Amino acid sequence: MISANVPTLAGGASNEASVLKGARIQQIVMQNRLPTVTLTQTGGANLQQQFRVFHKGGGNFRGQALQSKAIIPSCCVVFGSSTAGGAYTPGMSDYVIMIKNQAQVYLGGPPLVKMATGEVVDGESLGGADMHSRISGLSDQLASDEYDGINKAREWVAHLNWEQEGKLPQRHLLGKYEEPYYSSEELLGLVSANIRIPFDATEVIIRLVDGSRWSPFKPDYGVNLICGWSFIHGIPVGILANNNVIFNQEANKATQFVQLCNMKNTPLIFLQNITGFMVGKLYEEEGIIKAGSRFINAISNSTVPAITIMMGASFGAGNYAMCGRAYEPRFLFSWPNSKCSVMGAEQLTGVLDLVARQAAARAKQTVDEELLTKRKDMFQASVEAEANVYYTSSRILDDGIIDPRDTRSVIGFCLSVCYNNHVQGGNIYGSNKEGTITHSIVLKDRPTFVAFTTAGYPSSDDTVEILLALERGGADVIELGIPFTDALTGGPVIQFASAQSIKRGTDISTILQMVRTARSRGLKIPVVLMGYYNSVLAYGEDALVYDSKEAGVNGYILVDLPPEESHNFRCNCYKHGLAFIPLIAPTTPDKRIELLVTLADSFIYVLAGPTLDGVLPATVSRIKRHTSVPLVVEFNVSSREQFLKAASHVDGVAIGSRVLELVKEAFESDKSSLTDVVDKYVAEINGQKKSIQAAGVTSLNIGDVSTHKVFSPDEMKSFYHMHTRFGDFGGAYVPEILVDCLAQLEKCFVNAMNDPSFKSEFESYYDYISRPSQLQLANRLSEEVGGARIWLKREDLNHTGSHKINNAVGQILLAKRLGKKRIVAETGAGQHGVATATVCAKFGLECCIYMGEEDCRRQALNVFRMKMLGATVVAVKEGTRTLKDAVNAAMGDWVMNISTTHFLVGSAIGPHPFPKIVREFQSVIGKETKRQMLEKAGKLPDAVVACVGGGSNAIGMFHTFIEEKTVRIVGVEAGGDGVDTKKHAATLTLGTPGVFHGTRTYLLQDNNGQIAETTCISAGLDYPGVGPEHSYLKETGRAEYRVANDAQCLTGFRKMTQLEGIIPALESSHAIYAGIELAKELPKSKDIVICLSGRGDKDMHNVAEVLPKLGPQIGWDLRF
């Protein structure tokens, strides 16, 4: 480490800034064990700043002493006069070189000596280099001139025999590492001087790391914080980079990642562009303070070297968590655009305004608006100035401002410096785990205790021990949960346990082995598997029932397999003597209860609803009018008192959440106590002071299966009035609580379709929607392509900017007929959310929109529009935080608020009757297109093309032409990074049939029936399923489905924008690209119509984010 005074500035005297810089130098020296060379010429403290210098400056001398104690060598080369405090720098150095006839070192110069003692002496005699070399011995070497002094310092360094205590990798020492594939010059095009303009930190990372290659950590969890491992200059690093505000998942992810890097002794690189932690009621309830505290705790206790780069915003606790100056990174550098403050200047000013107004209100005074405005302006200007990087850098809050293009070199150099000291991680704890909740079942002569646990959580071996502990404690039946990626019911504890179990590779085969093992060790009580049908379907119904019987399973509860859909599975269960346990909800009508009780062969599972009082007694009374079969209630019971209260109405009570919470707590604190905790809790619920050694129930008492009535599929499906399927696809695979609601919705829809006044009312809103939408010939695009004429169905000109308004208006009218006052909806790109919020505002209904957190980020403008329209927007943080998770959350809300709420499904997905309802209201697209083509072209189109995610705009365009055999039907799916990768949303192209979100359709899923994650440029197509009618059209060959990857989508986007002056939605751009390619295949006499389903205003941010990556692939450079 080399430092020097600046003698031309106040004679090298130390001011406050130089004292702060000196302290920082010593911190770097100590952290990295760096020998020091100090080039000295100073007059000591700047007397005009004596107060600010004197007290802090003394610490620098102490630092020199501590450096010597740490056996870190120091050398001082004295070039000129070093007086007063400046004399202590050579005095406390290990080795001193003085320049002959220049260096003079003394505590007090000749004038001070004369004034204090009367002695007259010249400077050279008092403290010259020659004197100190010959007499005082302060100087160890006398240099003839400055050049000689520098050479002697180099000789001193050369003879130190100093070795790095950390071991640098050979690839670094030998220079055998790759430069990034992507040029650092491109960083200037990625990052804006305006920190409000976001950029993808991944694009920065791949321009810093060797070969532009890195291994992301949890890439689909907590996506606002990017973590992963790579190399810089051949040195392994762990990288944390911000893409937005920090939520719970980001904090949990970072905590675990920091721990892992400490375990592996891997230096950490922090790339800061952070506005802080998310605030709000929901996030406080979810524990954002605790999650953030764990993150900061991990950073505080991390001992591996950390290097921080300020790339943009650095506000609030986000600065702390991302290793700001207070957390002592080894090095910290800033880009010229960065800003650092407790929060943004506008936010701080807003707080000041609010405080002032509240204070005036309390004092019953009138706010002086002019004075307040002046104060606010002054305050905001002050905050802006202090947040500026040049101000913060001048206060030594970083180690310098660097050109972004130099970032890799700076980090590489700093990493090599860090290895002068040991690189050793500390024992910190970073992973953040949460619990789960769920249900259970069975009966006996006393209240039956049905205990639930998730298979594979915490591990397979632990599950076996838990099963045995539940029996020891006195559980009568065990409900063993089959983990599923996209459960529609169950709280956060269940979902967490399920996710953890899936990560550990749990599938039905391993679950059956858990049961076998437990049985071999003496488990006697019944075990019922509870889960979702898609897992069963993936395993194979026949094989599963046979293998379950062999393993020791006694029955099944399948949450989304109502009797209407369960004929084959029930037959297999009866054949092998396994119980098929029906569910009854408070919403189940008497007529259906009469049907369901005939299916019960052991007991009935009763869903209690939100409270035990009132609803449960009434539901039980209705059931008992039809059967004497024992009833087990599912409710959130945790105590003995609650257990007895619930049991006063039924034969048994299911407890799941509390069991799993105890399992989690024991696993995380003292795993050895896990089984004892479970055993004790179950005994307490049963009112026992100690474990029950003998099982109270050993079978489900399934009667003679030959007497069971097995209803035919046709008998069961008579509960619905319409056909529920499209060939083999469709149906209504839903929890029992939704069945009656769907039936009511179907009845309302059928009546509306048969009511001319409904059609008139719907069409009366066409002026509001801006229908009919235009059919436009894209003449320039057609000329560019040189093939078939391309026509555009301009759904982008509709009110709210897409086709979604068609369905939203139609379903709102149905909701009014149903008497529903509250609307919930899912949205991906935000277009359906905006349309729903719009019609709710128009009709005066409460509106709640669920949107994946990642989609909220990608479509922030639409989120703002929804909120502006009065809607509540809930960012869904579970799963991939995209469209499928929004559907899960919206359906979960609907389940909990079934009596007051209508679920306004935005796409042609979900259980019957939603696909038919959405198709009906969107079919106006195809009907208008047919009429307009006949009017404008005198013929039908030769092909119609539309993008397909869930498929609402596509089925709206296609349905009219299904019977027109001369018209080709072409759907276009999102190919993401390419169908040769796993990052796509090409469901129909690469998927397989399964059951998801209430319908049988094509899915992207693994071999175990777990839903795969999807990736694509457009949020509206980022969905692992598809409408069941599209699956039918694919299966029958009536429609063909193509794929456009992200780069091709952007090509379509660019063509439409630059040739037709129309900025399309990215969803529509997939269809545009495929339409262009199709047109090239056809002669000029042919006509194709592309459904331009939405406009692209919402996508500008997203396009700007991906252009640095995709632009070079398609030759499109918009950097400015």
DSSP string, 772-788: SPPEEE-HHHHHHH-SS
Rounded to whole angstroms, the maximal C-alpha distance in the chain is: 125
Give the pair of three-digit tokens for residue 845.
């209904």
pLDDT at 18: 82
pLDDT at 163: 74
pLDDT at 570: 86
Start-to-end C-alpha separation, the chain: 39
Instruction: Name the strand (E) or helix (H) holding 666.
Output: helix 657-669
Q: For residue 583, list its beta bridge partners.
A: 605
The CA distance from 943 to 464, in Å, is 58
Beta strands in 416-552 (DSSP E): 448-454, 477-481, 527-531
> What single-letter amino acid sits at 114?
K
Among 185, 204, 410, which Cα is nearest to 311's? 204
Beta strands in 316-383 (DSSP E): 331-334, 339-341
DSSP assignment of 791-814 equals EEEEGGGSTTSBTHHHHHHHHHHH
Give the pair of three-digit tokens for residue 1013.
């994650």
Helices (H) and strands (E) in the chain, counts: 47, 36
pLDDT under 50: residue ranges of the chain: 428-443, 692, 702-717
The CA distance from 374 to 352, in Å, is 12
Q: Are 234 and 180 in contact (CB under 8 A)?
A: no
In this prediction the pTM is 0.61
Domains, the chain, with CATH or none: 2-159 (3.90.226.10), 172-342+387-419 (3.90.226.10), 348-385 (no CATH), 448-707 (3.20.20.70), 725-758+801-915 (3.40.50.1100), 921-1113 (3.40.50.1100)
Q: Supply the DSSP symbol for 1065.
A: -
Spatial strand order in the sheet of 652-655:
579-580, 555-558, 527-531, 477-481, 448-454, 652-655, 631-634, 604-607, 583-584
Q: How do residues 857-906 score in pLDDT, each as one tens digit?
A: 988 989 999 999 999 999 999 878 888 889 888 988 888 888 899 999 99
pLDDT at 666: 87
Instruction: Name the strand (E) or helix (H) holding 994.
Output: strand 992-996
Q: Residue 403: phi, psi to the nearest 5?
A: -70, 130
Pair type for strands 306-315 and 1039-1044: unpaired
Spatial CB neighbours of 680, under 8 Å, sequence gap ≥ 6 = 473, 691
| 3-class secondary-structure state, position 392 | helix
CB-facing half-sphere around the CA of 576: CA atoms within 13 A: 23
pLDDT at 1052: 98
Residues classed as catalytic: 804, 826, 1093
Directed axis angle between helix 860-868 and helix 831-843, to 10°? Answer: 10
